[in-house]
Amino acid sequence: MLNLTQNTKQQLKISSKQIQWLNFLQYSTLELEAKIEEAIAENPLLELDDSNTSDSEELAPYDDNSPSDFPNYKDWDEIEDEPSTFYQHPTSGSAHSLEYLQLKNDGSVLDDLLEQISHLHLSDKQAEICRYILHSLDEYGFLPYEPEDLADDISFSQNSFVEESEVKEAIAVVQQLEPQGLASKNLASYLFFQLKNDFSSLAEKSKMLISNYFQDFVNKQYDKLQRELALSEDELGSIQKLIVSLNVHPLHNKSLSFSGNVYTTPDYIIYQGMNQMEASLNSSFIAKIKINQPVVKQLQNEVSTSSSTFIKQKISQAEWLIEALEQREKTMQKTIKAILKLQKEYFCSGDLHLLKPMILKDVATIIDMDIATVSRVTSGKYAQTPFGLIHLKDLFSEATQKDDGMWVSNKSIQQEIREIVERENTKIPLSDSQITVLLKQKGISTARRTVAKYREQLGILPAQLRKVLY
């Protein structure tokens, strides 16, 4: 007997042009430059527009109510402000070019890792996922993103659906590259990775401790560890000695970045104007393009009727690209002006303590766009400021209320923690609980676990691993 059932299911359908538009928002200046060059090479009806040769465009006034052919893609994905260490850069003076900022690096690990990937027997898709993961590692070689989130990001960037399971498989591949253990989620997972092939009694007990009681170990809850794991004092001492002997992050003393002088191009220029801080887009690298009308007319006169469809398709592609570039520029203009307005005090000084609480929704509300759009316009985008190069995404943080009723950015709290650790006695490093007390004295009431989370985000090791015996 045939049984028929009826159910409802929500499905998200995204056209190829919508995906293209999302990618245009997410591209950095150099990435967009490469895409434009590729488009010109593929479309004979496109050409460079030499009529506009300005190196940098000043932000023109915009009309918040102006209509747009590019919709806001609300509720496409949930955007979460992922924790990341605020990018610090040496103070830049006026001698710096507005086009380039030089980043000093001292290693070539990334080059070598990408080379290792090319020699493995992987499918093109799997190799691309591995490369994306490598470029997503932080400065210590950890991968601070969930596989599910990476799968979504890679799907958008590659215009091809990627399963979470495929990302997990790629992470396993990356972890076997040299140096091993890259793409571990955090310190605990990396410590466990180093012991995974050691099946001695001591190693097994150490893995049990790391898996289930690592935070207790960090907080020196030795009585609890002895009770929960049925350990003697000597056994716990041996475990502690073994764990402390391990490497604390996958890259050791190496730099993930390319060797030699590496340059990054800021997408925005923020500078001191006559009476206030002002901003402009750094569009010196983005080629101005237009449709080559003489070529269009010539082709329309010469080609057969059967080829007219091809010409119309290329014209449509060219018109869409030009319009997408214009809309991207307007969206970026709106976004940077909103950020500059919200963080005026910070941009005037560069002092992290003056960074106000700001989430994606705050900017989205000002520019009347959705959170996903703001996320893509700020992710991977850099701004040159009077005090150095900053990643716009790092300006976003939640708020914490101080004891005096004032609200402070979580980034400011992280900076306080950084400064406290820098001033500590390295022979007797401060525990997370002690840091919590010191923050309380500054009027910042926060939980010890919150301090531990911020410390990990800053790449600061636990107290016992910061201890210097000499």
C-alpha–C-alpha distance, residues 270 and 266, integer Å: 10
pLDDT at 420: 93
Instruction: Give, for 206, the enclosing helix (H) or strand (E).
Output: helix 201-218
Specify the 3-state DSSP secondary structure of 168.
helix
Instruction: Give, for 102, the enclosing helix (H) or strand (E).
Output: strand 101-104
Q: Which domains are seen in the chain, by residue range?
A: 16-82+263-395 (no CATH), 103-183 (1.10.10.1330), 187-245 (no CATH), 399-466 (1.10.10.60)
SS3 string, 106-164, reads CCCHHHHHHHHHHHCCCCHHHHHHHHHHHHHCCCCCCCCCCHHHHHHHHHHHHCCCCCH
> 430 or 53, which is more confident?
430
Token pair for 54: 């300005």
Q: What is the pLDDT of residues 123-181, one digit of tens each?
A: 888 888 998 888 888 888 888 888 888 888 888 777 778 888 999 999 999 999 888 89
- The closest alpha carbon to 352, from 12, 24, 83, 86, belongs to 86
Average pLDDT, stretch 241-249?
86
Longest dimension (CA), the chain: 91
Pair 445, 403: CB distance under 8 Å: yes
Q: What is the pLDDT of residues 369-394, one digit of tens each?
A: 888 888 888 887 888 888 888 888 88
Q: What's at 319, amino acid-wise?
A: E
Pick the range with the lowest mean pLDDT from 91-95, 119-123, 342-346, 440-444: 91-95
Residue 236's pLDDT band, with cuts at 50, 70 and 90, is confident
- Strands 268-272, 382-385: parallel, antiparallel or unpaired by DSSP? parallel
C-alpha–C-alpha distance, residues 209 and 218, integer Å: 11
Distance of CA 247 to the CA centre of its chain: 25
pTM exceeds 0.95 for this model: no
Pick the range with the lowest mean pLDDT from 52-61, 101-110, 271-280, 460-469: 52-61
β partners of residue 277: 272
